[in-house]
Structure 1
């Protein structure tokens, strides 16, 4: 190629480039001048939302927990904060509850005379009339706690005498002090039971002497859970013994305290049966699970205690901690038409305690995203297990920014 031919070729290339550049500029100028409406709309239009591509974690479920069930009576076992019952048998059959009645008495009295945390409540002055009540209970072969005329006990100490050694006489004395008579307490107690939905529970005295004091195992699990909410009552029933200066040391009738996790609550003995309303606490991962149960209708307290020990030892291992989500776990991904990408991650991990084969499910709820900053909340992961439900926020791990002028002008069909 000659020098003249080379110069001519370069000139042709230059002219072609000028044509391309000026043509593009002409298009832009035309859009900015003659196509002003389109340009304005394109630059101001909302960009299309990026829909999330969601990843739903698989449900988590353990195997069913084998249980050592009592071979007699009526029983039920539940746990605070958990749905339903872990174990049950004849749980809807009304049965005499004996001194478990005293829990109803205590709750009724404490509703009318609450004891602030760390305090002992008002004083009760005991008289010869209370001594007479004591001897009347002895004559009826009822359980009693010592009392002396002239003694002054706080309401807390009086409840300790009622609940720890199961003193029937203190049920009547406290009722007379709080409501004027035992019958007045009974009326108040039955109204309290009805108000708390314990429709299958009915009392006729303050101590449980009569077999007409009845309940069901299912109702008593609820009663036990209510009782635990009163710190005074919960502390008293967990005491192996108490010392009251006016009357001495009193020992708890519940011989299971301190064994198999048991830390409450109340024995009950009829002429024909032994009963126990019990509570127990177990460490599960970073949490503590409180079990509430009852066994009614045993021949002896030894038989009841043995059956409850086996039952609790089989129930406790069924509680386990599950971690359905970890921190920074990717649960959704976003991709825009102009090439931006981001992922929705969990802001934190999640753990919860379940029992047995209760499934743990995660539902991912991620919103479509247009423009967003890194760390912006774009939804939640809903964790469910039985009645337990809570949410974990989902946040973006990268920003989704505006595509810019050129993309807007050259992608008219992609804009809203």
Structure 2
């Protein structure tokens, strides 16, 4: 056999594609990993490093969206759960009554006809309903002892008394009250006998002021209330301004001065406020009383025995006959308060002429008043609004009667009657009050649920805003 011929093989030059890359450094150790020598197997850890050293897949829009969904979905779900819990347990809005019936009712017919005095001026209204009319020129004229209504009003405002109290505060009669009695008696003034140092109750002082129209007691009340008559007169004018008595000027607390002037319309404003005080209303409606000296004192107002209410007369030569009056009429289940004033009646005897004119005004006012049914029992007049879009109808529990006169428009309103509305209640439960008109003669009828009132459901709670 021939000897083998040695063949020399030259290995190809390594290219960039096949050049071995250095391995990353081993954990915990210094430099790069040195590749194993030719012919030697790689260490297990080095081999694992090579297998896991794979670059991430390329980024695409789909992968980006998926990754964001995975991140935000749990957070959105958590927020939704929190929102639902908060909405479900938030305090419910307070329910309210809303009127669905007509807000006003107008009486048919022409304007009510009133009987007015031929001279002077007069004005009449029904408290809470409005004016029935007026006559004569509205200009300030002397009002005489009608002034004492303001004196009594301020006294009770500054020293209030509870209904049924027959005494009130005590005052000491001063020497000036005695001197006024002694000087005024010969001149024919209206006065009540008192003694210095006498203890006079507020109630008796007001009786003396309003019934026998005692000028000396009017001045005593002024000094007792304000410290001086001048300070009290300032109170009178300030109060007149507050009441809107724009054509009124007071210069003394009794009205004896002819410079104390007012108008019929202004005096009715005062009379309305004074009659709102139960003590004033009671006293001005008395026919007589026995004073602390044991003397009987009669009311100078002849209207009181006829109609059962006040308020005050005022007569002097300069002022003529004047009367601020109040009368009541029961109609339609209500008691309507008629308030008016007749001034400057100079036909003698002046007290008779002003009383006659007042009686005509009262009778014509009573005749003008009428009652009409505006809502029948069971009619839907409104609803309970739960504040979340739910409404439960309410009905009148009985016929609703409006009181007024031809041509008058009265307003209707729905309120909670002073009680908090429930969130849930049975059908037929009374939840409020339907009112017609205002003032002491206001008509009030309870309203009840036509069907059960239910608390708002979960859906309504969930979707509410604000």
- TM-score scaled by structure 2? 0.62
Match of residue 259, structure 2, among 212, 222, 230: 212
Q: How does 1:22-41 map to 2 (within 5 A)?
A: none
Greater RCO (Cα-Cα under 8 Å, separation 6 or more): 1
User: Following TM superposition, by how much is the alpha carbon of 1:199 offset from its aligned partner in structure 2, in angstroms?
Assistant: 2.1
1:220-231 to 2 correspondences below 5 Å:
220-231=267-278
Q: What CA distance in whole angstroms lies between the structure 1 residues aligned with 2:282 and 2:204?
A: 12
Alignment match, 1:118:
164
2:137 is equivalent to residue 87 of structure 1: no
Task: For 1:59 and 1:129, locate their aligned partners in 2 and report how far apart those are by CA, in whole Å.
Answer: 56
Name the residue aligned to 2:395. 346
Aligned residue number for residue 420 of structure 2 = none
Q: CA RMSD in A?
A: 3.5
| Structure 2 CA distance for aligned equivalents of residues 274 and 327 of structure 1 | 49
Contact 1:157 1:244 in 2 (8 A): yes
Aligned-residue offset at 1:148: 2.3
Cα pair distance change 1:303/1:394, threshold 3 Å: same
1:266 matched residue in structure 2: 312
**How many residues are treated as equivalent by the alignment?**
326
Residue by residue over 1:188-222, the C-alpha shift from the partner in whole angstroms, topping out at 9 and shown as x without a partner, is: 11112222222222210110011111111111111
Counterparts of 1:381 and 1:283 in 2: how far apart (Å)? 21
Asked whether 1:318 is paired with 2:365, we answer no
**For 1:176, which of 223, 241, 246 is the aligned residue?**
223
Structure 1: where are the runs of 5+ without partners?
1-53, 333-342, 365-372, 400-416
Distance 1:383 1:108, change over 3 A: closer
Following superposition of structure 1 onto structure 2, how do residues 138-153 of structure 1 map, counting pairs within 5 Å?
138-153=185-200
Q: Does 1:166 align with 2:218?
A: no
Is the CA contact 2:116–2:122 (under 8 Å) kept in the aligned structure 1? Answer: no
* Structure (1 or 2) with the larger CA radius of gyration: 2
Comparing 126-135 and 343-352, the one that deviates more? 343-352
Q: How far off its partner does 1:138 sit?
A: 2.6
Residue of structure 2 in register with 1:101 after alignment: 147
Match of 1:192 among 239, 242, 248: 239
Seen in structure 2, the aligned counterparts of structure 1 residues 56 and 102 have a Cα distance that, compared at 3 Å, is closer
**Residues 272-314 of structure 1: CA distance to partner in whole angstroms, max 9, x if unpaired?**
3110010001111211011111100112110111111122111
Compute the displacement of 1:170 (Å).
0.8
Counterpart contact for 2:309–2:327, Cα < 8 Å: yes
Counterpart pick for 2:342 among 288, 295, 303: 295
Structure 2: segments with no counterpart, 5+ residues: 1-99, 383-391, 415-424, 454-466
Per-residue deviation, 1:177: 2.0
Residue in 2 aligned with 1:246?
293
**Number of the residue aligned with 1:404:** none
TM-score (ref. length: structure 1): 0.69
